[in-house]
Structure 1
């Protein structure tokens, strides 16, 4: 079952549909489907709060530009967006936690932050999972050193 889009997105898609009225029916259908799919994926990654929706619509650009590209038979420009900065910082923190596994605070922070972002469903899930795995490895390494220290001193 597909979830409805936020009202701003629905209005944007309705405007796009009207702007594409004169286009080839196949091109119109493909363009609307591509924009809907991109929008659904972007909202799943970023969330559907007002700021995220406005940012997405700014990235998509004016409906007239998309309609003009569809009428010309060229693909509509897609926004070039990399992974969110928070997820890049999360991976960096996880690597730091692995290098400094003797200080478990970094690893705990990584695991908590990655788990929170994964549950929220925002951002780059592959980077979040990578950070979570590295954070857990750092915690396991810390615990292994701790246990070996206690075994050696006993």
Structure 2
């Protein structure tokens, strides 16, 4: 179990103080819900949170006054953190298989439209940079990368293979000429 970062402990203590006039059971539910929301957001980082990570999660949540003001019977509870399809290994496999299927569908036209493998390569590079930088939409970039790589591999392979097949059947000076071998006589 992870220790609670000091910034989170201070935030939750301040929230508990600001809710001191509320029903004790309701106050405990609110603080527990906010704690759970923070824990989920920090768990999604997939690394030990830094001070900047904690500050970013708390900033996304809003000030304690914002949370207290938002918590009333007329407003819904805090939004849950959105999960990505590629959060699980099964999801990664499913997205990669989808990319493989898409690559197979695009393969017949990849030789004619050499832009497909080139565009897939550019998209794979851009999405890998977005994924590594861990910006606001890094999970979307991860999903895009996992989907794009199989498309790139299949269309690139088909393009290279078909290019090799077509270029080996061509001859210099027009139509291919049959090779006739005449047996040598002693």
- Superposition TM-score, scaled by structure 1 size: 0.62
When Rg is computed on C-alpha atoms for both structures, the one with the higher figure is 2
Q: Does 1:106 align with 2:106?
A: no
- Deviation of 1:14 after TM superposition, in Å, equals 1.7
User: Measured at CA, do residues 124 and 27 of structure 1 come closer, stay the same or move farther in structure 2, by a change above 3 Å?
Assistant: farther
What is the alpha-carbon distance in structure 2 between the residues aligned to residue 112 and residue 127 of structure 1?
A: 7
SS state of the match for residue 23, structure 1? coil
In structure 2, the residue matched to 1:40 is: 39
In structure 2, the residue matched to 1:19 is: 18
Conservation of the 8 A alpha-carbon contact between 2:131 and 2:139: no
SS state of the match for residue 20, structure 2? coil
SS state of the match for residue 116, structure 2? coil
In structure 1, the residue matched to 2:54 is: 53
Conservation of the 8 A alpha-carbon contact between 2:38 and 2:57: yes
SS state of the match for residue 146, structure 2? helix
Query: Where does 1:1-154 land on structure 2 (aligned, <5 Å)?
Result: 2-45=1-44, 48-70=49-71, 72-75=72-75, 78=78, 100-103=115-118, 105-106=121-122, 108-110=124-126, 112-113=128-129, 116=132, 123-154=137-168
User: Deviation per CA, 1:8-63, whole angstroms, max 9, x where unpaired?
Assistant: 11211122122223311232122112212221232234573223322332332332
- Deviation of 1:145 after TM superposition, in Å, equals 0.6
Conservation of the 8 A alpha-carbon contact between 2:127 and 2:144: no
What is the alpha-carbon distance in structure 2 between the residues aligned to residue 108 and residue 152 of structure 1?
A: 28
- Deviation of 1:3 after TM superposition, in Å, equals 2.1
In structure 1, the residue matched to 2:104 is: none
Q: Which has the higher helix share?
A: 1
SS state of the match for residue 101, structure 1? helix
- Deviation of 1:149 after TM superposition, in Å, equals 1.0
Conservation of the 8 A alpha-carbon contact between 1:42 and 1:56: yes
